[in-house]
Amino acid sequence: MHAVKSPLSEQVKTVVAELSCQNSGLFDSLQAEKGLFVRELPWGKVVSAFAEATIDTLVFFVHSGTNLPTECEPFLNEKGVDQLAKTIIDNVDLGGGLVTSELSTYLKKSPGMAIVWYDFTRLVGDANRVNLDEQIPFVPYRGASIWKAGGDFTKVQALVAKQTVQPFYEDAEALFREYSPTLCIYFHSYDERAAGGSATKTVSDSFEATALRPAGMIFRENPQDAKNPFLSDTEVVELSKLLENKLKTIEYVLTTERTDVTIDEPYRAAASLLTYLKALKPSVRHLFFEVRKDIFKSAPAASVQAVTSFIISSREISHSID
């Protein structure tokens, strides 16, 4: 079953593509390698080497989609396609489509990996949040609201969630149980400058506003269970150094003030997809990492290669620790 896209979504998609190319010089969308097994789902797709592959690693991309479900159209304000597309781009995790496309070329060599691609924009269903008011906020993380003012917004949230995040979480849990992965990896990219203070209701940015963020970061601390972190001390040190070394191969990164990769800084993980899946099976490792968006904007090709290599190497490290 394919994700249901609205006519407006198709119009917005064209403008999003133009803005995406302006940001990175490349079309930042999933273009899977031909010949792979693609499982189409209402919210997106799962891509693997072949149908009966034994999967040990799920790689999630949940903030890089740009589509809109038909059901949300009546509730959108009338600021126009261009403004809607700009707000989508302002909130997308830049580089996700490019990395996913590159990663797909390695699946036949590494059939134990599967890509989980969430196709909707986080504006209409943030798949990395578990609370409804954060999954479908009236005011997005960046920019002005896309929703009509007035009325009972909780009804809008409930209706839209049934088309976006609700089936995603149901299927994510089913996939998690079906494959029984030993490792889940989550790609994210964050803004170049810190927000300062509260980034969302459950995430506080420890950096002062406008401070340059690290080139990357990795999450270790589990806010739902402090005694059961996402990664061991050994893993998180090794993986953070690996990500830092990969990013330092990008010439642009070396020209910036922050080339380092931090752990749980400038903010810690919120109640999110990884905390939800971690609770289902505590023994599974979860690698949630961020890369600064300006790196993708300034050096898209080199960034894609570095991040893809990091994902593949991280899986190898995880298996070597088992």
Tokens of 235: 């893993």
- Measured in whole angstroms, the distance separating CA 268 from the mean position of its chain's CA atoms is 16
46-83 pLDDT, tens digit each: 999 999 999 999 999 999 998 898 889 899 998 888 89
Model pTM score = 0.93
Tokens, residue 248:
């330092």
Q: Say if 197 falls within a structural domain.
A: yes
E strands in 196-240? 197-200, 203-205, 216-218
2 in any annotated domain: no
Residue 99 neighbours by CB under 8 Å, 6+ apart: 61, 187, 304, 307, 308, 311
- Evaluate whether residue 213 is within a structural domain: yes
Structural domain includes residue 1: no
Q: How many domains does the chain have?
A: 1
Whether 12 is in a domain gets the answer yes
Token readout for 44 is 């997106």
> What one-character-per-residue DSSP string does 257-268 give?
S---EEES-S--
Q: Would you say how long the chain is, in residues?
A: 322
Tell me if 217 is assigned to some domain.
yes
Task: Give tens-digit pLDDT for 13-42.
Answer: 777 777 666 666 555 778 888 999 999 999
Please answer whether residues 25 and 10 qualify as being in contact, where contact means their C-beta atoms are separated by less than 8 angstroms: no
Band (235; pLDDT cuts 50, 70, 90): very high
Q: Would residue 149 count as lying in a domain?
A: yes
Question: Which DSSP state fits 193?
Answer: B
Would residue 173 count as lying in a domain? yes
Rounded Cα distance between 300 and 152, Å, is 42
Write out the residue range of the structural domain in which residue 25 sits: 7-321
CATH classification at residue 120:
3.40.630.40
